[in-house]
């Protein structure tokens, strides 16, 4: 589609001003790409899903996928900003008129950042329905106590979506009952009972561990219905998996482009190494794998935009794209040989970044479990 081509070209033009050395230095210093995020916000790309009435572009997930894919393909790291897109699914579909008026225009203008999603806990992992962080209603406030882990960009966000338990596990009516979603104001939160501890990790993802100690959230910040928060976050999670899939397609294409160019120009034994089928065939194979995965990402995004069920497609898009990007990265590193492990060539950084998506935001085994039970109708495995 013509407008997608224009979007890709515009994003590419911004990314060209932030070369791979920019991202390498950020990675080395565990720093946040403030300038880059500011520019893509001011250009309207981070607010692409926000309706025009609130100052956004009013576009869909298909367009959002194109934006994140191009950032990845340029050698950048869209993980620094992607949460602002996938959390929009929950706010747009479940937010009250007051919440939308209060937050969406400010987010679209870049006055507020919604870059964090507080779900995962140390004792629950991807078993979301077993989280134990509690939110107890007292008067016009919810009092939150508990712990979260691997919560990214908290220190670079103004507001966060938080999932907490408002009904105990013993009292819940179903496995997904009793969870509620909240919009959390992070301004001054560390003076109000939130402790933030950064996690030293292998990638520059700005992840933290959070501790809530009688942290208060106004009742009007409840997102969606009380006790029905699981369905609220699922809209964000499906969007997240599709968008991460798009990022992985961008990573795969980055690796393929880099490997193809190097194989064509690198001369060994008086001929380009790409003339050897042992070098060219793996690149061609992962290219085919990537193009197939890209079709699933597009299908999932199209279903999401149409408001149709897309859980299976979202999971498959993420799984297939993550597998393609990891295989493409490994193939690229093998093509470059010893030079591939040098930080000067940027491959090892991108390989670390794309490796994350084998286990997050959901592991491959859990996706296979979901498909086995909910799509193929086989017995539940756990």
The residues near 188 (Cβ < 8 Å, ≥ 6 apart) are: none
Reported as a pLDDT band with limits 50, 70 and 90, residue 375 is very high
Alpha carbons within 13 A on the beta-carbon side of 62: 14
- Decide if 88 contacts 58 (C-beta within 8 A): no
**Residue 10 clears pLDDT 80, i.e. is over it:** yes
CA distance 248 to 290: 9
Per the residue annotation, which of 63, 70, 240, 313 is the catalytic one?
Answer: 240
Strand locations in 37-176 (E): 114-118, 134-138, 141-152, 159-165
Q: For the chain, what's the residue count?
A: 382
The pTM score is: 0.96
The average pLDDT across 92-108 equals 94
Task: Share the mean pLDDT of the chain.
Answer: 96
Reported as a pLDDT band with limits 50, 70 and 90, residue 163 is very high
pLDDT digits (tens, 9 = 90+) for 336-374: 999 999 999 999 999 999 999 999 999 999 999 999 999
Give buried/exposed letters for 133-163 (b at 16+ CB in 10 A, else e): bbbeeeeeebbbbbbbbbbbbbebbbbbbbb
pLDDT at 88: 85
pLDDT at 1: 66
pLDDT at 197: 98
The average pLDDT across 178-188 equals 97
**Residue 20 clears pLDDT 90, i.e. is over it:** yes
**Residue 256 clears pLDDT 70, i.e. is over it:** yes
The average pLDDT across 116-129 equals 92
**Residue 80 clears pLDDT 90, i.e. is over it:** no
Distance (Å) of CA 151 to CA 122, 205, 232: 11, 9, 18
Q: Please report the domains of the chain, with CATH numbers, ordered by start residue.
A: 2-109 (1.10.540.10), 114-229 (2.40.110.10), 231-375 (1.20.140.10)
pLDDT digits (tens, 9 = 90+) for 199-215: 999 999 999 999 999 99
- Decide if 36 contacts 76 (C-beta within 8 A): yes
Residue 240 falls in the annotated catalytic set = yes
From the DSSP assignment, how many helices (H) and strands (E) are in the chain? 12, 10
The average pLDDT across 269-273 equals 97
CA distance 30 to 41: 21
pLDDT at 261: 98
Instruction: Calculate what percentage of the chain has a pLDDT beyond 70.
Output: 100
Distance (Å) of CA 127 to CA 163, 168, 302, 363: 13, 16, 28, 11
The average pLDDT across 267-282 equals 98
pLDDT at 125: 82
pLDDT digits (tens, 9 = 90+) for 128-154: 999 999 999 999 999 999 999 999 999
Q: Hey, CA dihedral for 70, 76, 81, 86, is it positive or negative?
A: positive
The average pLDDT across 372-377 equals 96
The average pLDDT across 234-253 equals 95
What are the tokens at 147? Answer: 């712990």
What are the tokens at 196? Answer: 């933030």
């Amino acid at each position: 589609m013509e407008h997608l081509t224009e979007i890709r070209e515009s994003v590419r033009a911004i990314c060209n001003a932030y070369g791979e050395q920019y991202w390498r230095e950020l990675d080395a210093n565990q720093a946040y790409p403030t300038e880059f995020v500011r520019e893509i916000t001011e250009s309207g790309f981070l607010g692409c899903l926000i309706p025009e009435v609130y100052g956004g572009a009013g576009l869909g997930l298909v367009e959002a996928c194109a934006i994140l894919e191009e950032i990845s393909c340029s050698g950048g790291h869209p993980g620094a900003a992607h949460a602002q897109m996938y959390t929009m699914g929950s706010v747009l579909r479940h937010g009250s008129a007051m919440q939308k008026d209060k937050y969406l225009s400010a987010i679209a203008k870049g006055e507020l950042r919604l870059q964090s999603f507080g779900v995962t806990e140390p004792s629950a992992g991807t078993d979301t329905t077993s989280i134990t962080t509690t939110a107890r209603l007292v008067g016009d406030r919810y009092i939150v106590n508990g712990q979260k882990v691997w919560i990214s960009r908290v220190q670079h966000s103004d507001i966060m979506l938080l999932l907490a338990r408002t009904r105990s596990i013993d009292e819940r009516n179903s496995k997904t009952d009793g969870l509620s979603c909240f919009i959390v104001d992070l301004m001054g939160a560390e003076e109000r009972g939130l402790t933030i501890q950064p996690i030293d990790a292998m990638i520059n993802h700005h992840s933290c561990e959070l501790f809530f100690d009688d942290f208060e959230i106004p009742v009007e910040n409840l997102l969606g219905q009380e006790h029905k928060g699981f369905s609220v976050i699922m809209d964000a999670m499906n969007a997240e998996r599709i968008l991460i899939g798009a990022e992985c397609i961008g990573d795969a294409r980055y690796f393929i482009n880099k490997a193809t160019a190097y194989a064509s120009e690198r001369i060994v034994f008086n001929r380009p190494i790409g003339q050897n089928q042992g070098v060219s065939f793996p690149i061609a194979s992962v290219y085919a794998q990537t193009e197939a995965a890209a079709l699933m990402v597009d299908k999932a995004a199209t279903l999401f935009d149409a408001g149709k069920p897309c859980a299976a497609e979202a999971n498959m898009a993420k799984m297939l794209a993550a597998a393609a990007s990891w295989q493409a990265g490994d193939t690229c590193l093998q093509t470059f040989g010893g030079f591939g492990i040098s930080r000067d060539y940027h491959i090892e950084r991108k390989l670390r970044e794309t490796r994350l998506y084998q286990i997050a935001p959901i592991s491959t085994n859990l996706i296979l479990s979901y498909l086995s039970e909910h799509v193929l109708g086989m017995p539940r495995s756990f």
